DNA sequence: CATGGGATTGACT
DNA sequence: GTCAATCCCATGC
Protein backbone atom coordinates (compact mmCIF):
# COMPACT_ATOMS: atom_id res chain seq x y z
CA UNK A 1 0.00 0.00 0.00
CA UNK A 2 0.90 3.61 0.03
CA UNK A 3 1.01 4.08 3.76
CA UNK A 4 4.73 4.74 3.58
CA UNK A 5 4.30 7.48 1.01
CA UNK A 6 1.44 9.00 2.95
CA UNK A 7 3.65 9.20 6.00
CA UNK A 8 6.29 10.88 3.84
CA UNK A 9 4.07 13.64 2.50
CA UNK A 10 2.84 14.28 6.05
CA UNK A 11 6.43 14.49 7.26
CA UNK A 12 7.09 17.10 4.59
CA UNK A 13 3.94 18.98 5.59
CA UNK A 14 5.22 19.09 9.17
CA UNK A 15 8.75 20.02 8.13
CA UNK A 16 7.47 22.97 6.10
CA UNK A 17 5.96 24.60 9.19
CA UNK A 18 8.39 27.41 10.01
CA UNK A 19 9.87 27.52 6.50
CA UNK A 20 9.86 30.83 4.61
CA UNK A 21 7.95 31.38 1.37
CA UNK A 22 9.37 34.24 -0.69
CA UNK A 23 8.37 35.93 -3.94
CA UNK A 24 10.12 39.15 -4.84
CA UNK A 25 10.18 41.49 -1.88
CA UNK A 26 7.32 39.70 -0.08
CA UNK A 27 7.82 36.77 2.29
CA UNK A 28 6.17 34.96 5.17
CA UNK A 29 6.75 32.10 7.60
CA UNK A 30 4.55 29.04 7.04
CA UNK A 31 2.18 28.43 9.97
CA UNK A 32 -0.32 26.03 8.36
CA UNK A 33 -0.09 23.22 5.79
CA UNK A 34 -2.11 20.26 4.53
CA UNK A 35 -0.88 16.98 3.00
CA UNK A 36 -2.46 15.42 -0.10
CA UNK A 37 -1.56 12.01 -1.55
CA UNK A 38 -2.70 10.09 -4.62
CA UNK A 39 -3.85 7.19 -2.42
CA UNK A 40 -6.73 9.24 -0.96
CA UNK A 41 -9.62 10.77 -2.94
CA UNK A 42 -9.28 14.36 -1.77
CA UNK A 43 -6.02 14.65 -3.70
CA UNK A 44 -6.13 15.96 -7.26
CA UNK A 45 -3.68 13.21 -8.20
CA UNK A 46 -6.13 10.53 -7.09
CA UNK A 47 -7.63 10.26 -10.59
CA UNK A 48 -4.22 9.81 -12.17
CA UNK A 49 -2.11 11.89 -14.53
CA UNK A 50 -4.02 14.61 -16.34
CA UNK A 51 -2.82 17.90 -17.84
CA UNK A 52 -3.78 19.61 -14.61
CA UNK A 53 -2.07 17.19 -12.21
CA UNK A 54 1.08 16.59 -14.22
CA UNK A 55 3.31 18.66 -11.95
CA UNK A 56 2.02 16.74 -8.91
CA UNK A 57 3.58 13.61 -10.41
CA UNK A 58 6.80 15.42 -11.30
CA UNK A 59 9.92 16.34 -9.40
CA UNK A 60 9.59 17.00 -5.66
CA UNK A 61 10.38 20.54 -4.59
CA UNK A 62 8.46 22.04 -7.51
CA UNK A 63 5.44 24.30 -7.14
CA UNK A 64 2.00 22.97 -8.00
CA UNK A 65 -0.25 25.98 -8.50
CA UNK A 66 -3.88 25.59 -9.54
CA UNK A 67 -7.01 27.72 -9.65
CA UNK A 68 -9.66 27.13 -7.02
CA UNK A 69 -13.33 28.01 -7.49
CA UNK A 70 -12.36 29.87 -10.64
CA UNK A 71 -11.01 32.64 -8.46
CA UNK A 72 -7.98 31.85 -6.32
CA UNK A 73 -4.51 30.48 -6.99
CA UNK A 74 -3.38 27.78 -4.55
CA UNK A 75 0.27 27.04 -3.79
CA UNK A 76 1.51 23.51 -3.13
CA UNK A 77 4.95 21.94 -2.84
CA UNK A 78 5.32 18.62 -4.67
CA UNK A 79 6.36 16.25 -1.92
CA UNK A 80 7.02 12.72 -3.17
CA UNK A 81 9.51 11.14 -5.59
CA UNK A 82 8.83 11.58 -9.29
CA UNK A 83 5.98 9.35 -10.38
CA UNK A 84 4.05 9.58 -7.10
CA UNK A 85 1.32 12.23 -7.03
CA UNK A 86 1.44 14.14 -3.75
CA UNK A 87 1.74 17.69 -2.52
CA UNK A 88 1.64 19.96 0.49
CA UNK A 89 -0.85 22.83 0.34
CA UNK A 90 0.48 26.02 1.92
CA UNK A 91 -2.53 27.36 3.83
CA UNK A 92 -1.26 30.29 5.90
CA UNK A 93 1.79 32.47 6.54
CA UNK A 94 2.93 34.89 9.17
CA UNK A 95 3.93 37.94 7.08
CA UNK A 96 7.56 38.98 7.50
CA UNK A 97 8.84 40.95 4.49
CA UNK A 98 7.12 43.37 2.10
CA UNK A 99 4.17 43.96 4.37
CA UNK A 100 3.19 47.23 2.70
CA UNK A 101 3.04 45.57 -0.72
CA UNK A 102 0.97 42.73 0.72
CA UNK A 103 -1.42 45.23 2.26
CA UNK A 104 -1.80 46.98 -1.08
CA UNK A 105 -2.42 43.72 -2.95
CA UNK A 106 -4.91 42.50 -0.37
CA UNK A 107 -6.66 45.80 0.27
CA UNK A 108 -6.36 45.12 4.00
CA UNK A 109 -4.24 46.56 6.78
CA UNK A 110 -4.29 44.00 9.59
CA UNK A 111 -1.42 41.52 9.47
CA UNK A 112 -3.79 38.69 10.39
CA UNK A 113 -5.80 39.28 7.22
CA UNK A 114 -2.92 39.24 4.76
CA UNK A 115 -1.97 35.55 4.52
CA UNK A 116 -4.45 33.64 6.73
CA UNK A 117 -5.75 31.38 3.96
CA UNK A 118 -4.43 29.65 0.83
CA UNK A 119 -6.05 32.12 -1.56
CA UNK A 120 -5.08 35.10 0.56
CA UNK A 121 -1.39 34.29 0.72
CA UNK A 122 -1.02 33.82 -3.03
CA UNK A 123 -2.73 37.15 -3.57
CA UNK A 124 -0.50 38.83 -0.97
CA UNK A 125 2.70 37.40 -2.49
CA UNK A 126 1.62 37.83 -6.10
CA UNK A 127 1.76 34.09 -6.85
CA UNK A 128 -0.13 33.13 -10.01
CA UNK A 129 -0.86 30.08 -12.17
CA UNK A 130 2.19 30.79 -14.31
CA UNK A 131 4.33 29.77 -11.32
CA UNK A 132 3.11 26.20 -11.68
CA UNK A 133 6.11 23.91 -12.06
CA UNK A 134 8.73 26.37 -10.85
CA UNK A 135 11.60 25.06 -8.74
CA UNK A 136 10.98 26.16 -5.15
CA UNK A 137 14.70 26.06 -4.36
CA UNK A 138 15.42 28.35 -7.28
CA UNK A 139 12.50 30.72 -7.84
CA UNK A 140 10.85 32.97 -8.73
CA UNK A 141 8.83 31.56 -5.83
CA UNK A 142 11.09 29.98 -3.18
CA UNK A 143 10.65 28.04 0.05
CA UNK A 144 13.60 28.12 2.45
CA UNK A 145 13.71 25.35 5.08
CA UNK A 146 13.64 26.38 8.67
CA UNK A 147 16.72 25.96 10.78
CA UNK A 148 16.37 24.32 14.16
CA UNK A 149 13.53 22.61 15.87
CA UNK A 150 10.52 24.76 15.01
CA UNK A 151 7.30 25.54 16.87
CA UNK A 152 4.79 23.16 18.44
CA UNK A 153 2.55 21.68 15.76
CA UNK A 154 -1.11 20.69 16.03
CA UNK A 155 -2.70 18.10 13.70
CA UNK A 156 -6.35 18.31 12.66
CA UNK A 157 -8.68 17.54 9.78
CA UNK A 158 -8.27 19.19 6.40
CA UNK A 159 -10.53 22.05 5.45
CA UNK A 160 -12.89 22.58 2.52
CA UNK A 161 -12.86 19.02 1.15
CA UNK A 162 -15.71 16.54 0.74
CA UNK A 163 -13.81 13.27 0.58
CA UNK A 164 -11.38 11.61 3.01
CA UNK A 165 -12.49 14.25 5.51
CA UNK A 166 -11.34 12.31 8.56
CA UNK A 167 -7.62 12.16 7.83
CA UNK A 168 -5.73 14.37 10.32
CA UNK A 169 -3.45 15.80 7.65
CA UNK A 170 -3.68 19.49 8.46
CA UNK A 171 -0.78 20.88 10.46
CA UNK A 172 -0.62 24.25 12.14
CA UNK A 173 1.36 26.17 14.73
CA UNK A 174 -0.36 25.91 18.08
CA UNK A 175 -1.98 29.18 19.09
CA UNK A 176 -0.75 31.10 16.06
CA UNK A 177 -3.04 34.03 15.24
CA UNK A 178 -2.04 33.83 11.57
CA UNK A 179 -3.70 30.49 10.69
CA UNK A 180 -6.87 30.30 8.60
CA UNK A 181 -10.21 29.86 10.39
CA UNK A 182 -10.00 30.09 14.20
CA UNK A 183 -8.57 27.57 16.62
CA UNK A 184 -11.66 26.32 18.47
CA UNK A 185 -12.99 24.09 15.70
CA UNK A 186 -9.43 22.97 15.21
CA UNK A 187 -9.12 21.62 18.73
CA UNK A 188 -12.46 19.87 18.45
CA UNK A 189 -11.57 18.10 15.21
CA UNK A 190 -8.26 17.10 16.73
CA UNK A 191 -9.83 15.41 19.72
CA UNK A 192 -12.24 13.63 17.44
CA UNK A 193 -9.62 12.46 14.99
CA UNK A 194 -6.44 11.87 16.93
CA UNK A 195 -7.98 10.77 20.19
C1' DC B 1 -18.58 19.76 -27.46
C1' DA B 2 -21.57 20.58 -22.96
C1' DT B 3 -21.74 20.24 -18.36
C1' DG B 4 -20.71 20.20 -13.47
C1' DG B 5 -17.88 20.89 -9.74
C1' DG B 6 -14.54 22.71 -6.72
C1' DA B 7 -8.03 22.03 -1.45
C1' DT B 8 -12.02 29.91 -1.14
C1' DT B 9 -13.13 34.44 -0.09
C1' DG B 10 -15.77 38.38 1.03
C1' DA B 11 -20.07 40.67 0.96
C1' DC B 12 -24.46 40.45 2.54
C1' DT B 13 -29.24 38.81 5.09
C1' DG C 1 -25.75 32.27 9.01
C1' DT C 2 -26.16 32.32 3.30
C1' DC C 3 -24.36 32.87 -1.26
C1' DA C 4 -22.26 34.58 -5.69
C1' DA C 5 -18.00 35.17 -8.22
C1' DT C 6 -15.49 32.90 -11.99
C1' DC C 7 -12.56 29.56 -14.76
C1' DC C 8 -10.03 25.49 -15.43
C1' DC C 9 -10.50 20.99 -16.28
C1' DA C 10 -12.40 16.15 -15.74
C1' DT C 11 -15.98 13.63 -17.40
C1' DG C 12 -19.47 11.97 -20.47
C1' DC C 13 -22.20 12.22 -24.63
pLDDT tens-digit readout, A34-49: 999 999 999 999 999 9
Predicted confidence at residue A96, as pLDDT, reads 96
Instruction: Provide the pairing of β-strand A63-68 with A72-78.
Output: antiparallel
- Encode A36-56 in three state secondary structure: EECCCCCCHHHHCCCCCCHHH
Nucleotides of B under 7 A from a protein CB: 5-10
What's the pTM value of the predicted model, to 2 decimals?
0.91
With bands split at pLDDT 50, 70 and 90, how would you rate the model's confidence at A7? Answer: confident
CA(A50)–C1'(C5) in Å?
Answer: 26
Rounded mean pLDDT, A122-127: 98
Rounded to an integer, what distance in angstroms lies between the CA atom of residue A163 and that of residue A192?
17
Nucleotides of C under 7 A from a protein CB: 5-11
Closest nt by CA–C1' to A123: B9
Predicted confidence at residue A5, as pLDDT, reads 55
Rounded to an integer, what distance in angstroms lies between the CA atom of residue A93 and that of residue A110?
13
Regarding predicted confidence, which is higher, A28 or A181? A28
pLDDT, one tens digit per residue, over A143-187 is 999 998 989 999 999 999 999 999 999 999 999 999 997 543 444
Residue A83's Cβ-count burial label (10 Å; 0-12, 13-18, 19+) is: exposed
Contacts of A150 (CB under 8 A, 6+ apart): A17, A18
CA(A144)–C1'(B2) in Å?
Answer: 44
CB atoms under 10 Å from CB of A119, counted, come to: 17
Helix (H) or strand (E) holding A22: strand A20-23
CA(A192)–C1'(C1) in Å?
Answer: 25
pLDDT, one tens digit per residue, over A66-79 is 999 999 999 999 99
CA(A71)–C1'(C5) in Å?
Answer: 7
Rounded mean pLDDT, A50-64: 95
CA(A53)–C1'(C12) in Å?
Answer: 20
Predicted confidence at residue A1, as pLDDT, reads 47
Identify, with chain letter, the residue nearest to nucleotide C11 (CA–C1'): A47
At residue A85, does pLDDT exceed 60? yes
Amino acid sequence: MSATYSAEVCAVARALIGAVVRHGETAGVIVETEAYHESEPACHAHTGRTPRTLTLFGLPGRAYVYRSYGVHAMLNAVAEPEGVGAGVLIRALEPCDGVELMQARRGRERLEELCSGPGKLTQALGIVLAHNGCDLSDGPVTISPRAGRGPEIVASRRIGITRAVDLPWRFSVRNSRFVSRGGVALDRSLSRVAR
